Amino acid sequence: MAAPTVDQIKKMREEYLLPSTMTYFERPVNIVRGQMQYVYDDQGRKYMDAFSAVVTISVGHCHPDVVSKIQRQVGQLQHMTTLYYHPNIVQYAKKMHEMAGGGDLKVSFFTNSGCEANELAAILAKNHTKQQEFIALRHSFHGRTLMAMTLTGQSSWRHSMPYVFGVTHAPNAYCYRCPLKLKYPSCGVACATQVEDIIKYNTSGRIAGFIAEPIAGFGGVIHPPKEYFPIIADIVKKHGGVYISDEVQTGFGRTGKHFFGISHWGVKPDIVTMAKGIGNGVPLGGIITTRAIAESMRGKVHFNTYGGNPVSMAAGLAVLEVIERYNMVRNADSVGTYLKSRLLSISNRHPVIGDVRGLGLMLGVELVKNRKTKEVAPKETLRLMELCKDRGLLIGKGGMAGNVVRIKPPMCVTRRDADFIVGVLDESLGVMEKEFRIRRPAASRKR
Ligand SMILES: Cc1ncc(COP(=O)(O)O)c(C=O)c1O
């Protein structure tokens, strides 16, 4: 049977898939092959995947070391569930503990996705603390199940329906558009200190936990000041809650220097939730927590049919080994730092760039129609993505208005790839600015 064309796939998607299945592009691409940082469409066109298939490809598309481990396992045993013993799950859990720093984070449970991991983290926090209420952050994204959607702090990702009881959202440290209209550092990081009052006035005064992404991904790469999470962690502890770090996007070295993003902020989480990059394209999610918190599950049944599946565990183990073997955390730091500096350098000549932020290979470029008014530029962002795609570069977007370009390539990228990304962005920004008549203010043009 001949493979369907782009037009045929378009028709079939409309006919057979839920209408909420979205695409970014006016002229969609049919991606049929991947190799490390590149993907190829059905016409053989090559693209640099600087969005890592929505931050899932951590070590490279079809990384040969990962593929060979998966192939070997698929040929031996695909599935039996955790009702039966298998070596892969325990070997993986041990390796995860070591990669997580070998400290108190020791006990794991595996799922298929990030939202299931966040659901489980909430159950663990409630069981451990005997409390029900949570603090989450505005601009956050935690997944599409009911609890995960309730924890998510963006209207675009919430459907109007009865949410889970007991979740209150605190302000995120979005310094570029400070929710409190203050300026760092004279603000005293009031967005963090305010969490004390939020717990005091919006909850019973005792909470089950706090959940946050160390850098909000879908929220638009919100990169907080260094004091923000440590202040909140102290407040959460004081009110009896556990600290849950959602590392679905920031984890496994992507932010450079550390295996988990939260380590940049010097906070020791009680529970870490994971997905996306730990599977490098295989549906794998999970949590890692302390023995004390894990003990709250003793005597209770918690089961996930495919969680801990031998194939996903083989893939996960191979991914961790590749991260270690090829020094990918260091690479994310050095290439990411270089890429950010190059993005900052082109921001001088593109008035549409309002802000460049992020760490390692988790970078965001916020686009605005006017730097002074900071009016958001969502249409311009979409057009930029299309122009980049036509030039062989795939990028993502995020933020409440969809005006933040997200650049999160696989951790195998090189400086030369960073130059390619910036080159294509630079050219496409120029074309887009012309189309939308975005010009530098007269004063800055003279300089
Ligand atoms: C930070 C974060 N947490 C949780 C999730 C949910 O993961 P999944 O889609 O695997 O359920 C996502 C998905 O994008 C995410 O970005």
Q: Which residue among 145, 215, 249, 312 is best mutated to probe the pocket of ligand 1, counting the most ligand atoms within 8 A of its Cβ?
A: 249
Which of 20, 110, 218, 248 is the best mutation target for the ligand 1 pocket, counting ligand atoms within 8 Å of the beta carbon and taking the most? 248
**Ligand 1 first shell, C-beta below 6 A:** 113-115, 118, 141-143, 213, 217-218, 246, 248-249, 275, 285
**Predicted local confidence at residue 26, as pLDDT:** 87
- The label of the residue with tokens 């409440």 reads 400
Q: Give pLDDT tens digits for 10-40.
A: 999 999 999 999 888 988 999 999 999 999 9
- 135 CA from centroid of ligand 1 (Å): 18
Residue to mutate, 21, 110, 141, ligand 1, most ligand atoms under 8 Å from C-beta: 141
User: Which residue matches tokens 């040929």?
Assistant: 75
Taking residues 229-245, what's their average pLDDT? 98
Centroid of ligand 1 to alpha carbon of 117 (angstroms): 9
Which residues make beta-bridge pairs with 368?
376
| Cα 213 to middle of ligand 1, angstroms | 10
Regarding pTM above 0.95, the answer is: yes
| Residue located nearest, by CA, to atom 8 of ligand 1 | 114
pLDDT digits (tens, 9 = 90+) for 354-402: 999 999 999 999 999 999 999 999 999 999 999 999 999 999 999 999 9
pLDDT the model gives residue 439:
83
Rounded Cα gap, residues 340 and 210, in angstroms: 30
Angle made by CA atoms 435, 436, 441, in degrees to the nearest 5: 120
Q: Is the pLDDT of residue 445 over 60?
A: no
Which helix H or strand E contains 289, and what residues bound it? strand 285-289
Average pLDDT over residues 79-97: 97
Residue 153 Cα to ligand 1 middle (Å): 13
Residue 429, classed as helix, strand or coil, is: helix
Report the alpha-carbon distance of residue 72 to residue 307 in Å, rounded.
19
Q: Model confidence over 125-180: pLDDT tens digits? A: 999 999 999 999 999 999 999 999 999 999 999 888 889 999 999 999 999 999 99
Query: What residues contact 237, with CB distance under 8 A and at least 6 apart?
Result: 243
pLDDT at 195 exceeding the cut of 80: yes
Q: What is the mean pLDDT of residues 83-96?
A: 98
The terminus-to-terminus CA distance of the chain in angstroms comes to 61
What is the rounded CA–CA span in Å between residue 57 and residue 328? Answer: 13
Residue type, 172: N
Across the range 260-269, mean pLDDT stands at: 98
Specify the pLDDT at position 162.
85
Task: Delineate the domains of the chain, giving CATH numbers in brackets.
Answer: 6-59+327-446 (3.90.1150.10), 65-325 (3.40.640.10)
Q: If you measure from the C-alpha of residue 388 to the centroid of ligand 1, how many angstroms do you get, rounded to a whole number?
A: 25
Q: How far, in Å, is the centroid of ligand 1 from the Cα of 311?
A: 21
**Which tokens in the block code for residue 255?**
């932010």
pLDDT computed for residue 446 by the predictor: 46
Question: What value does the mean pLDDT of the chain take?
Answer: 96
Q: Compute, in angstroms, the gap from residue 187 CA to the centroid of ligand 1.
A: 31
What pLDDT, on a 0 to 100 scale, did the predictor assign at position 443? 55
